[in-house]
Each structure stands twice: as structure tokens, then as C-alpha cells.
Chains A and B, each alone.
Chain A
């Protein structure tokens, strides 16, 4: 870990603890507000820090992404994410090549780490799955080749 990521993480952690102490992050509470900034962010690091409080993550093979290698139609790309990790708090799904990479963020509230949905992809790129477990971020990615884009038209 270099100095920059260390600084970022410390900042993120302190921000979270401040929010928690102020009672903003009471467990079991539904998400307070729709994170517009996170969905408007133009790159995945910015989207992640807006949505989850930190833009840096560790790679983990324990996150499984099931998605097609080649998607004929970018407007419907089935993606399934599952993880064998314990204590998974949330799963976020990003498509790195999209104009605004953040696709969705799922808050699990103790449910099993498994989410399946269909997403739009503008062009060929990585599908990034970010899992928050024990306060840390882990991620895995998979490249999906898109022959017809699904954003705009």
C-alpha cells in the first residue's frame, strides 16, 4: 500500500465513523438518499468513492462474475455476481466503459452474496464487481465484448 491509498483510506474510514457516530448509518436503515453524484461520476474510481466512500480496492478471486464473453446486444447483458466471502455488506456493479460507470449498488443487509440482473453496456469493456466486506472493498472484473452498443442509439 502506498502513501496515497493509505491517506485516501484513512480519510474514508474517518468519514464513515463520523457519519456512524452521528447516527446517520444506523444498521438496517434504508439508504438515506439517492447518490446522484455516484451515478453521474465519469470514471469508476470517482463513482466508487461517491457510492462507497473509497475509490481503491483489492483484487479478489473470491468474487465470481458470470457474464457472457461476447454480448451481441449491449442493451441486455445478463450479469450474475456471487461471492463466498463472509460478512458481505454490499455489492456494487460497474461497467467501466460506460459514460457513467456505476450501474447499481445492492445493500445486502445480511442476505446471501448473490445478485443477478441485466445491464446496459455502451461498448466493449470490463464489468467490475465491487464487494464490501468487513469495511473493506474487494473487486473482480470480467471483460465483455459488445458488438452492438446499448447506450444511446
Chain B
């Protein structure tokens, strides 16, 4: 599951805007497979954490109602050159993380 996250962070006047896209099916568990008639089991991201250096700047809990291949954008007070790490964990225990630099 490597490189499932695209991350871009830009700094403007001390405010860092982070935009990221993750690759994930985000199944709610409420959908039926049209061919077999069986329910598709839930498979979605549960936790997202973003860190700037060692400091957590955002941690989120998500339900299945976030769209497929989720997009997330947020802002925090930071400077150019900071390392930013974004990671997610889904309900099947899979996880991925990516580290980028604030531009």
C-alpha cells in the first residue's frame, strides 16, 4: 500500500495550507454487490493524523461517509521547510503514511 497519499503543503505568510489526496475505496458497508446480491463489507479510513515535525497539527476520525479516494485540506501556523507527515489507519488495520516538506 505504498504511496497511496499525495501531499502538497504550501506556506504563505506563516500559514501552511496542506492539501492531500488518498487512494482508498471507502466502502460504507451498506452497499450491495449488484452481481451477487451480497453486502460489500465496510472498508474505510478511520483515523488520519498529520504532524509537523513532532507536533500533531490535526488528528481526525472518519466514518464511511467520506467520499472514495478522500481529499483533505487544512491549515496550520507553520513555516517553510518544515517536515510534514500524514498517516491514515483503516478499519482493517491497513495504514500508510507520507512525509513531505512545506514549500
Contact = CB atoms under 8 A, between A and B. Distances in A.
Interface in B49-103: 49, 55-68, 70-77
B11 to A, nearest CB: 13
Contacts of B59: 30-31, 106-107, 109
A75 B46 CA distance: 18
Give chain A's interface residue range (CB within 8 Å of chain B): 35 or more
A108 B72 contact: no
Contact of A111 (B57, B67, B72): B57
Nearest to B44: A39
A34 B90 CA distance: 11
A35 B56 contact: no
Contacts, number: 112
Contact of B66 (A31, A100, A104, A112): A104
A54 to B, nearest CB: 17
A98 B30 CA distance: 11
Interface of A: 28, 30-31, 34-35, 38-39, 51, 75-78, 80, 95, 98-100, 102-112, 114-121, 150-153
Interface of B: 15, 28, 30-32, 46-47, 49, 55-68, 70-77
